[in-house]
Amino acid sequence: MPQPDIHLEQPDLMEQAVEWLVRLRGGNLSEAQTHAFAEWLSQDAAHAAALAKAEDFLGEMTAAVKLPRPDDVERQPNAEKLSQQSLTIPPRKTVKPWLAIPLAMAAAWLVTVGLLLPNQSSLLDNLLSDYHTQPGEIRDIQLADGSRLLLNTNTAVSVDYQPSQRLITLHHGEVRFTVAKDARRPFEVKADALMVRALGTVFDVYRKEPDAIKVTVQEHAVAARIQKEISTQKPDHSSQVRVQAGQQLVYQGDSTLTQPTATNLTQASAWQQRRLYINDRPLGELVEELDRYRIGRIYLSDAKLKNLRVTGVFPLDNPDEVIVSVRKVLRLQETRLGPWLVLHR
C-alpha cells in the first residue's frame, strides 16, 4: 500500500524540524518555547514526520547550530561561543509516516498537560485513590472509625485500615485530618518518604510537589519520621521529630528532617473556610496558590512583577474574580491564550 505524501522534502520544513530538535535535545526550553513547539507540532501531520526524519538525519552527524537562551547569555561572558557548541544526537528509530498524526496529537497533548495543567495532571493518582477532589473542590469524608478527612482542592488519598494500623496515603494535594482515638491502631499518614503519626486530634499535611511536604498541627501533636528504606541513618533527631500544636514542619525530600517552626494557624488553616490569607508575600506566591483552585495556568511576565508584595484575604470560591481584582488594583495588562492560559504583564 503506498504511503501518504506528507512533503518531507520541503527545505523550510526540514530546517524548522532540525532547529526544534536541536532545541529539544539541548533541554531547558522556556515555557514560551515549549508552547510554541506544541503549536508548531500540532499544525500539520507533516511537522511530526519531519521531526522524525530530522532525528534520523541528526543521528548520523553532529548538529552545530544551537540558539542561546537569554539566561545562558547572562551567565556566560563569552556568549558567542554558545552558538558554536556541538550537540551529538543519538540515532533513533524511524517513525513511519502513517504514525505522524497520532504522534503529533500525543505530543501536543503531553505538552499541553505539562504546560497548561501541571496541577491537574495527576490523573493516574485519582484513578488509583479511594477519594479525590477536582480543582476548586473541597470535600469532607468520614471514615469507618469516625475519623474525618477534609480534602482540599486537587487532592487524592488512599485508605488502608488493618487490625493493627490505620494508614492514609496522600498521593497529592492537602488534607486536614481529624483523628478518632483508637489505642490499638495508630493513625499514620504517608506522603512520599515522610510518615506522620497522630499523637492527638487535628493536623494538616500538604504535599506540595516537587518542592516540599508541609505538616501543620492544629491540636495536640504528631510524630514525623522518614521511612527506614529512605533514611540512610539510624533513627535520631534528624530523621524523626515531634511537631506540637501551632508548629509547622517542612520536609524537603532528603534524608533528614529540620526542626519545626511556629506558624500562624489562622493563615495556615484559612483554606478550610475557603479563604486565602496572604500577608506581605510575593505576588507570585498568591498566583501559585490561586492556580491550585482553578483549571489552567496564570503566568507573570517577569521576576519584578512576581516579587511585588501583596497583603489580603481572598475568597477561594471564584479564583478568577480574585485575578481580575488583583489585575485592576495593580493595573496589569492581561493576555488570554485559549480558555486556560492567562498572561499578566
User: Rounded CA gap, 264 and 248, in Å?
Assistant: 9
Higher pLDDT, 35 or 64: 35
Specify the pLDDT at position 80: 40
- Model confidence pLDDT, tens digit, residues 297-332: 888 878 888 899 988 889 999 988 988 888 888 888
pLDDT exceeding 70 applies to what percent of the chain?
Answer: 64
- Model confidence pLDDT, tens digit, residues 152-177: 999 999 999 999 999 999 999 999 99
The average confidence (pLDDT) of the chain is 76
45: phi then psi, degrees, rounded to nearest 5: -60, -30
Specify the pLDDT at position 77: 44
Supply the CATH classification number for the domain 274-344. Answer: 3.55.50.30
Q: Which residues contact 211 (CB under 8 A, 6 or more apart)?
A: 252
Given a cut of 80, whether residue 282 has pLDDT beyond it is yes
- Model confidence pLDDT, tens digit, residues 228-255: 654 444 444 457 899 999 999 999 888 7
Domain ranges of the chain: 11-116, 124-267, 274-344
Specify the pLDDT at position 229: 57
Let me know: does 246 contact 265? Beta carbons within 8 Å: yes
- Model confidence pLDDT, tens digit, residues 189-225: 999 999 999 998 999 999 987 668 999 999 999 999 9
Specify the pLDDT at position 14: 72
State the DSSP H helix or E strand holding residue 154, giving kind and residue range, or none if neither: none
What is the DSSP annotation of 16-61?
A: HHHHHHHHHHH----HHHHHHHHHHHHH-HHHHHHHHHHHHHHTTS
User: Rounded CA gap, 344 and 164, in Å?
Assistant: 52
Let me know: does 13 contact 50? Beta carbons within 8 Å: yes
Specify the pLDDT at position 168: 97
Let me know: does 200 contact 179? Beta carbons within 8 Å: yes
Higher pLDDT, 14 or 221: 221
Confidence (pTM): 0.66
Supply the CATH classification number for the domain 124-267. Answer: 2.60.120.1440
Q: Which residues contact 79 (CB under 8 A, 6 or more apart)?
A: 68, 72, 73
> In DSSP terms, which residues pair with 99 in a beta bridge?
none
Higher pLDDT, 104 or 205: 205
> How far is residue 102 from each of residues 96, 179, 190, 248, 298, measured CA to CA in Å?
11, 48, 38, 47, 29
